[in-house]
Amino acid sequence: MSQWLTQVIAQAQQVSDYLAPVRQQALLQLQQAGWPGRRNESWRFTPLTALDKREANNSVVTGEEAAPVIDDLNSLDIVFANGQLVTDISSINLPEGITISDLSTPSENAQQNVISLFGSVKPARHVFGLVNDVVAQQGIVIDVAADAVIEPVIRIVNKVTADVDSHIRVLVRVGENARARVLEHGEGAVSSMTTAFAEYDIGKNAHLEHYRFAFYTEKAKQVGGSHFKLGESSSLNSAVVGYGSELSRLDIDIWHAGEHASAKMNAIYLLAEGELFDLHTNIEHAVPNGTTEENARGIIGDGARAIFNGRIHIHRDAQKTLAELNNRNLLLSRRALIHTKPELEIYADDVKCAHGATVAEIAENELYYLVTRGISRSKALVMLNFGFIQELVNQIPDQAISQWLLPKLSERFSHMEVK
């Protein structure tokens, strides 16, 4: 067991709040869990050496941080600085049909609701999810009433600027026939450690438009996940974007709990030189007549390592399921690595499913052709190879978000060297 985890467990034993019964159960599991190593299939290609000798640091370091400006975006912004909530939630002018509470201080009436949702969607598959269960005291609870249509994007931002540990939990319930949009945004480059997990319970005939941006780079370390439970005839449209860093891991879980639910998820990852990014997705089709469309595409720089493990599990009773999973990758050098593992596990016989993965390298002859005609190397790279990333960005439903995201990704890509 790592020094960091040993210290986190010691800290967890001092946490006492209304979630104590839930935390105690998770703490027992955490104490029994082993530190994931190369023999653990889920962590086989993701070394945790950056945490082996790290000191757990739960110091409180706050600041007056602001959410990134996205022109023309209609949003309700909730900002954390180094894992500490800095937005006065009570001052937000909320539209009718939605309540937002501070996880650490919900009303007595809301506490039982939080307890029922906490851990009900997120599977306790690995150590870092359990860590978040036992120590996350910072977070928010969002409740969208039945039949409500919430127009603004609920934007949850965590900006990390100090070498501290931060643990954030987001709990969201979208009521029957309701519609909502949520954007989870994390960023930082300093040597920090962040766990950030979100759980979404999407009711019957409800719709959620979801974004998860993990813009951690350089020495930052983060492990997090977004987890969804889909009710009958509900729908999810999710866009996930991640950068590489010293350690960056995201888990996306979608559980088809009601018939006729649909899920679409597009994921993009960009890794600069020497960085690491690990994306694990798991789709559980437990009932009939569900649909899933998943596309993940990555660009991997020199000496960087990307991991994609996408799994779709069709249960025995999940007849008439339609599911498709695709992963495409572009390597910018011979030292760039991608470990890709798309999986279909099917136990029903009346389904239509497909999966695939491709890995390609830069077409040097085409690049040379453009450069010799006066086009800069960086612009030529964007012209030749950014298209398959741009295709997914163009599918983002909110135009303000896509127009903000595209130049941001293009700039990062243009500074990634081809070797």
What are residue 135's phi and psi, to 5 degrees?
-120, -10
Would you list the DSSP string of 355-370? EEEEEEE--HHHHHHH
Confidence (pTM): 0.96
- Residue pair 58/229 in contact (Cβ under 8 Å)? The answer is no
- Fill in the amino acid letter for 321: T
177, pLDDT greater than 90: yes
pLDDT of residue 384: 78
- Residue pair 19/68 in contact (Cβ under 8 Å)? The answer is no
Per-residue pLDDT of 267-298, as tens digits, reads: 999 999 999 999 999 999 999 999 999 999 99
Average pLDDT over residues 293-318: 97
Residue with tokens 């945490």: 51
At a CB cut-off of 8 Å and minimum separation 6, what does 298 contact? 268, 269, 270, 271, 277, 306, 308, 327, 328, 329, 330, 338
Distances (CA, A) of 327 to 202, 270, 279, 359, 411: 26, 14, 11, 9, 23
pLDDT of residue 214: 98
d(CA 209, CA 400) in angstroms, rounded, equals 14
Confidence tier at 396 by pLDDT (50, 70, 90): very high
Percent of the chain clearing pLDDT 90 (strictly above) = 73
**How many beta carbons lie within 10 A of that of residue 148, not counting itself?**
19
7, pLDDT greater than 70: yes
pLDDT of residue 64: 66
In 2-106, which ranges are continuous DSSP H helix? 3-12, 20-32, 49-52
Q: CA-based angle 345:350:352, to the nearest 5?
A: 65
Per-residue pLDDT of 149-175, as tens digits, reads: 999 999 999 999 999 999 999 999 999
- Which candidate, 388, 383, 408, 306, places its Cα nearest to that of 45? 306
- Which candidate, 111, 119, 164, 116, places its Cα nearest to that of 29? 119
Sheet holding 179-188, edge to edge: 84-85, 75-81, 153-160, 179-188, 207-216, 235-243, 262-271, 291-300, 322-331, 352-361
d(CA 100, CA 76) in angstroms, rounded, equals 11
Per-residue pLDDT of 87-135, as tens digits, reads: 999 889 999 999 999 999 888 878 888 998 998 998 867 899 999 999 9
| Strand duo 75-81 + 84-85: pairing | antiparallel
d(CA 53, CA 3) in angstroms, rounded, equals 6
- Fill in the amino acid letter for 36: P
182, pLDDT greater than 90: yes
Average pLDDT over residues 394-414: 93
pLDDT of residue 283: 98
Per-residue pLDDT of 369-380, as tens digits, reads: 889 999 887 778
| Strand duo 235-243 + 138-144: pairing | unpaired
Tell me the pLDDT of the chain averaged across its residues.
93
d(CA 308, CA 44) in angstroms, rounded, equals 12
- Residue pair 98/148 in contact (Cβ under 8 Å)? The answer is yes
3-class DSSP state of 49 = helix
- Residue pair 258/288 in contact (Cβ under 8 Å)? The answer is no
- Residue pair 336/301 in contact (Cβ under 8 Å)? The answer is yes
Per-residue pLDDT of 193-248, as tens digits, reads: 999 999 999 999 999 999 999 999 999 999 999 999 999 999 999 999 999 999 99
399-414 and 377-385 helices, crossing angle to 10°:
130
d(CA 308, CA 279) in angstroms, rounded, equals 5
Average pLDDT over residues 3-13: 89
Percent of the chain clearing pLDDT 70 (strictly above) = 99
pLDDT of residue 12: 86
Q: Which residue would you say has higher pLDDT here, 410 or 351?
A: 351
Average pLDDT over residues 182-189: 97
- Residue pair 208/227 in contact (Cβ under 8 Å)? The answer is no
56, pLDDT greater than 80: yes
pLDDT of residue 169: 97
d(CA 270, CA 54) in angstroms, rounded, equals 26
